[in-house]
Amino acid sequence: MVRHGYTTCATCHVDPSGSGVLTPYGRAQGEILLQSRYSGKPGEEASPAANFLWNALRTPDWLLGGGEVRYLALRMKLGDGPTAGDLILMQGDLAAAVHAGGFRASGSLGYISTTGSPAAVGGQVVSREHWAGWAFDEGELLVRAGRMNVPFGIRSIEHTLFVRQATRSDLNDTQQHGVAVSYSAELIRGELMAIAGNFQIRNDANRQRGYSGYVELAPVTRFAIGVSSLVTHAAEDVRLRVANTRQAHGAFVRASPWRPLVLLGEADYVIQSPSGAPSQKGLATMLQADYEPWQGLHLIATGETLDVAGAGISYGGWLSAAWFFAPHLDIRADFMNRSEVIGATRYAVLAYMAQGHLYF
Amino acid sequence: MHGCAAWLTALVLAAAQPKISRPEVLFIAHGSLGMRIEGKTPDLSLTRSGEVLEFAVQLATLQTGIELRDRHMRDEVLEVQRFPVATLRVTNPPPRAGKTAGTTRAELTVHGQTRPVDVSFQVASRGGYDVTATFRMDLRDYGMNAPTYLGIKVKPEIDVSADFHLDAP
**pLDDT at residue B94 in the model:** 44
Distance CA A50, CA A70 (A): 18
Question: How sure is the predictor about A219, in pLDDT bands with cuts at 50, 70 and 90?
Answer: very high
Q: What is the mean pLDDT of residues A6-11?
A: 93
Q: Could you tell me if B157 lies within 8 Å of chain A, comparing CB atoms?
A: no
Question: How sure is the predictor about A138, in pLDDT bands with cuts at 50, 70 and 90?
Answer: confident
Neighbouring-strand partners of residue A341: A346
Q: What is the mean pLDDT of residues A42-58?
A: 90
Q: What percent of chain A has pLDDT over 70?
A: 100
DSSP-H helix ranges across chain A: 24-29, 162-167
**What does the mean pLDDT of chain A come to?**
95
Which of A111, A115, A171 lies closest to A147, judged by CA? A171
- What residue ranges define each of the domains in chain A, with the CATH number in brackets? 2-359 (2.40.160.10)
- What residue ranges define each of the domains in chain B, with the CATH number in brackets? 3-166 (2.40.128.110)
**What does the mean pLDDT of chain B come to?**
87
Distance CA B27, CA B134 (A): 10
Size (chain A), residues: 360
Q: What is the mean pLDDT of residues A154-175?
A: 95
Nearest CA in chain A to B37: A5
Distance CA A18, CA A22 (A): 9
Q: What is the mean pLDDT of residues B37-63?
A: 93
Task: Report whether pLDDT(A52) > 80.
Answer: yes
Distance CA B30, CA B155 (A): 6
Kind and range of the H or E run holding B110: strand B101-110
Q: What is the ipTM of this complex?
A: 0.86
Residue A110 burial by CB count (10 A; 0-12/13-18/19+): exposed, middle or buried?
buried
Question: How sure is the predictor about B12, in pLDDT bands with cuts at 50, 70 and 90?
Answer: low
- Mutation pick from A1, A7, A9, A11 vs chain B, by most beta carbons of B within 10 Å, is A11
- Torsion, Cα of A118, A120, A124, A127 (10° steps): -130
**pLDDT at residue A300 in the model:** 98
Q: Could you tell me if B149 lies within 8 Å of chain A, comparing CB atoms?
A: yes
**pLDDT at residue A308 in the model:** 84
Closest Cα of chain B to A230: distance in Å?
25
Find all residues with CB under 8 Å of B78, minimum gap 6, and list them: B59, B62, B110, B111, B144
* Chain B residues touching residue A10 (CB < 8 angstroms): 33-34
Task: Report whether pLDDT(B2) > 50.
Answer: no
CB within 8 Å of chain B, chain A residues 172-191: 184-186, 189
* Chain B residues touching residue A182 (CB < 8 angstroms): none
| pLDDT tens for each residue of A291-344 | 999 999 999 999 999 998 777 899 999 999 999 999 999 999 999 999 999 888
Distance CA B129, CA A156 (A): 46
Extended beta strands in chain A, E state: 63-78, 83-100, 103-111, 120-122, 125-126, 130-136, 141-148, 176-184, 188-197, 209-220, 223-234, 244-258, 261-274, 280-294, 297-307, 314-326, 329-342, 345-359
Give the single-character DSSP code of B146. Answer: P
User: pTM of the entire structure?
Assistant: 0.92
Distance CA A308, CA A281 (A): 5
Q: Could you tell me if B32 lies within 8 Å of chain A, comparing CB atoms?
A: yes
**3-class DSSP assignment, residue B130:** strand
Task: Report whether pLDDT(B14) > 70.
Answer: no
A25/B151 touch (CB, cutoff 8 Å), yes or no? yes
| pLDDT tens for each residue of A277-303 | 999 999 999 999 999 999 999 999 999
**pLDDT at residue B102 in the model:** 86
More confident residue, A191 or B122: A191
**pLDDT at residue B95 in the model:** 45
Task: Report whether pLDDT(A221) > 80.
Answer: yes
Question: How sure is the predictor about B9, in pLDDT bands with cuts at 50, 70 and 90?
Answer: low
